[in-house]
Amino acid sequence: MKKWVILLALLLGLLLWIGDRNLNRTPGTEVQINRVETDEIAETAAADTKDTTNAPDAPAGNDSSVRTIQVTPDQIYKGDLVLVNQDHPVHAEGMLSDIAELSRHPELTEGYGLLDNKIQLSERVAKQFSAMVAAAGEDGVNHFLISSGYRDNEKQAELYEEEGPDYALPAGFSEHNLGLSLDIGSSLEAMERAPEGKWLTANAWDYGFILRYPKDKTAITGIQYEPWHFRYVGLPHSQIMKEKRFTLEEYLSYLREQKQIQATIDGRTYDISYIPVTGETAIEVPTDRDYEISGNNVDGVILTVYPQ
C-alpha cells in the first residue's frame, strides 16, 4: 500500500513539473546570431557623413536593390530602441504621437483589465500587448491587467515627489515617459508568483517585449528588480536579447561593438546595423526588403532589415 502511495505522489509531482515547464516554454523559437565581417551597410553609412541637406534620396551606385537616404540627428532620439535611463533622458523627438487612453478603446483592451481607467499607452504597443495576451489565453493564462502605462512629465514629477528616488525616476528619465513601457499585473497574486508573470518571463520576447529590469542585472540597469515592468522593443530585437540574456543597455553596446550582425530566427534572416550619426548622414537601405530605423538615444541609429 505504501508503495502505491509513493508512486502516486511521484506521478503527481511529475505532472506538476511538466505543467510548469509548459507554462514557461518558448515555443519553437530558434535563434542564430552571426557578426557580418564585411559590414557593407555600416561602412557605407559611416563613410558618408558630409552635409547633404539639399541632396535628394538616390539609388546607391548602379545597384537597384539599394538606395541612399538621409538620416538627421533628431532620428537618434526616436524609435523602439531608444535607451532611457538615469543618464539618457527622453527627448521631445522621442515622444510618440499615438498615445491613447485605453479605456476609450475597447478593441485594445480585450482579454485584460485596467487598474485605472485613465491609463494611457501607444496604440501600436497596445495592439501588440493584446496579441500577446491572446496567445497567453490559449495557454490558459488569462488574468492580466495593466497598472501603469504612459506618463507625462507632470505625472512623473508627482510620482517622484511622492515616492522619492528609491522608487521613482525624475520626470523625463523614466521609460514611462515614452509610451513604450507598461507595468503588467495579475488579478491572482504578485507577478513574481503569478502564472501571468511566469508566462511573460518565458514568452514576452516572442511578441517584441522584454523584461526591462531583471533580477540579476541591477548593476547594469541601475534599477531594482521589477517583474512587472515590460518594454516594447519589437522583433527581432527582443528575441536576440532573450538569446543572449541582454538588457537594453547591453544590447545597444553589443550592436555598437559588432557594427553589423545577422540573426536567423526560425529560418528567417534579419540584418541589423549600428550606424553612428554626426550631422546629416547618408545610409543605404534596401529597395526590395522592408526596413526600420530607430535611434539609440545616444549617438546613432539601428537599421533593421527584415526578411523578404
Half-sphere exposure of 256 (CA within 13 A, CB side): 16
226 is catalytic: yes
Q: How many domains does the chain have?
A: 2
**228 lies in some domain:** yes
- Residue 10 falls inside a structural domain: no
How remote is the C-alpha of 103 from its chain's centroid?
23
Asked if 169 and 248 sit in the same domain, the reply is: no
User: What contacts 130, CB < 8 A, 6 or more positions away?
Assistant: 108, 109, 110, 111, 112
251 and 288 inside one domain: yes
Contact 277, 93 (CB under 8 A): no
User: Which of 182, 198, 232 is a domain's end point?
Assistant: 232
Task: Determine the pLDDT at residue 167.
Answer: 79
Q: Note whether residue 36 is domain-resident.
A: yes
User: Average pLDDT in the 72-81 region?
Assistant: 97
User: Which residues constitute the domain of residue 120?
Assistant: 87-232
Task: Report how far Cα 252 is from the mean position of its chain's Cα atoms.
Answer: 12
Q: Supply the pLDDT for residue 18.
A: 35
Please give the average per-residue pLDDT across 229-258, as a whole number: 98
Q: Is 53 exposed, middle or buried (0-12, 13-18, 19+ CB in 10 A)?
A: exposed
Which of the following is catalytic: 43, 101, 226, 250?
Answer: 226
For residue 50, give the amino acid letter: K
Name the least confident of 32-41, 201-210, 218-227, 241-250. 32-41
Boundary of a domain, candidates 180, 204, 232: 232
- Same domain assignment for residues 35 and 148: no
Q: How many residues does the chain have?
A: 308
pLDDT band for position 14 (50/70/90)?
A: very low
Asked whether residue 301 falls in the same domain as residue 198, the answer is no
Q: In whole angstroms, what is the distance from residue 270 CA to residue 307 CA?
A: 6
Last residue of a domain, one of 189, 210, 232: 232
**Residue of 130, 24, 78, 80 lying closest to 241 (CA atoms):** 80
The predicted-structure confidence for 103-113, as pLDDT tens digits, reads as follows 999 999 999 99
Residues 6+ apart with CB under 8 A from 243: 31, 33
Q: What is the CATH number of the domain that holds 282?
A: 3.30.200.180
